[in-house]
Amino acid sequence: MKVFLMMLAAVCMLSAAANDFTNDTFSTKSGPLTITFVGHGTLMLGWQKLVVHVDPVGRYADYSAVMPKADLILITHEHSDHLDKDAIGHIVKQGTVIVANDAVVRQLGGGSALSNGAVTNIRGIMIEAVPAYNLPGKPITFHPKGRDNGYVLTFDGLRVYIAGDTEDIPEMKALKNIDVAFLPMNQPYTMTPKQVLNALRMIRPKTAYPYHFGNTDTKKLLDIAVPRSLYAAGGWSRTAYRRHHRRHREQ
Ligand SMILES: [Zn+2]
């Protein structure tokens, strides 16, 4: 299976309709999964009529009018670029399930707290909370170990890893059979392009998207992804990366 490294659209307008955002679709055994790139660390996933919002934040999309209501909301942690109570308030409906880390559940006064390593199943979507943290040795630790969540979501066999705010932590080696991975790339909060490369070597996803990249030039990942060992490891497609890079640049 070929490995495609792609990048997502960083630019979105608040007035945009939900379907104006860039998205990609993947096949699962029970229908397509559509992943919409809303902006920064914010995503929306659609599968079997279910709408899953990940870290919905009002500065990246208009949740009051444009974005659809949620069946499931996943929050990685309590920083303001991930947790936005107003945005959540706009998209909850009867039956919406919120899954988050413990601190977010306490701040919201509701939802299900999952700690690192915990697993739950919401309407056929398996949700595994996985570690997301900063490695030791920095003056400031923005994301202490054990507090925040990344998520591995399984949609009838298709496994999507949403890393949250993390560095290239050793626990990534334990992530198996990842089809799609979203990896953050902005220092000092998350990873350098070189760390993302290291993360990719550990995870070996079939498709990888840098997200949460701030001002980082995501093309740098392409520049450093030249080593032949990487191709040998996963069969990366530079052509696919370039195509997506161009496509999203033009928007
Ligand atoms: Zn963040």
pLDDT in tens, 31-43: 999 999 898 899 9
Paired with 154 in beta bridges are 126, 159
CA of 232 to the centre of ligand 1 (A): 32
- Residue 129 domain-assigned (yes or no): yes
CA of 212 to the centre of ligand 1 (A): 7
Task: Provide the CATH number for the domain around residue 211.
Answer: 3.60.15.10
- Residue 209 domain-assigned (yes or no): yes
The number of folded domains in the chain is 1
Question: What residue numbers bound the domain in which 164 lies?
Answer: 11-225
The encoded tokens of residue 92 equal 């909850």
Alpha helices in 52-128 (DSSP H): 85-91, 102-108
- Residue 242 domain-assigned (yes or no): no
- Residue 199 domain-assigned (yes or no): yes
- Residue 236 domain-assigned (yes or no): no
- Residue 251 domain-assigned (yes or no): no
Q: Could you tell me the pTM of the whole model?
A: 0.84
- Residue 239 domain-assigned (yes or no): no
Average pLDDT of the residues in 151-157: 98
CA of 26 to the centre of ligand 1 (A): 26
Q: Cβ contacts of residue 125 below 8 Å, gap of 6+?
A: 47, 50, 52, 72, 153, 154, 155
CA of 183 to the centre of ligand 1 (A): 11
CA of 188 to the centre of ligand 1 (A): 10
pLDDT digits (tens, 9 = 90+) for 164-189: 999 999 999 999 999 889 999 888 89
- Residue 112 domain-assigned (yes or no): yes
